[in-house]
Amino acid sequence: MLESGRPAMCKLCKKKDRRVLQVHHKDGNDQNYEIDNLIWLCVNCHHLVHCHDVLLN
């Protein structure tokens, strides 16, 4: 995933700082590493998605 060629950029705020970017599993299953299930989120947006049901699309 990390070097899959997909640019590392937060899906929500477009931040590109790799130090704060994390992989989010869209279906909530952290064993599912299908490429379509993975998106980049920075720590702030990742928190929002999990705790406040922010929509990703």
Positions in the binding site for Zn ion (CB under 5 A):
10, 12-13, 15, 24, 42, 45
Question: CB 18 → Zn ion: shortest distance, Å?
Answer: 13
Compare residues 4 and 56 and give the one whose CB is closer to Zn ion.
56
Separation CA 39–CA 46 (nearest Å): 10
CA angle, residues 31, 36, 39, in degrees to nearest 5 = 80
Question: CB 40 → Zn ion: shortest distance, Å?
Answer: 9
Question: CB 5 → Zn ion: shortest distance, Å?
Answer: 20
Who contacts 2 (Cβ-Cβ below 8 Å, separation ≥6)? Answer: 8, 23
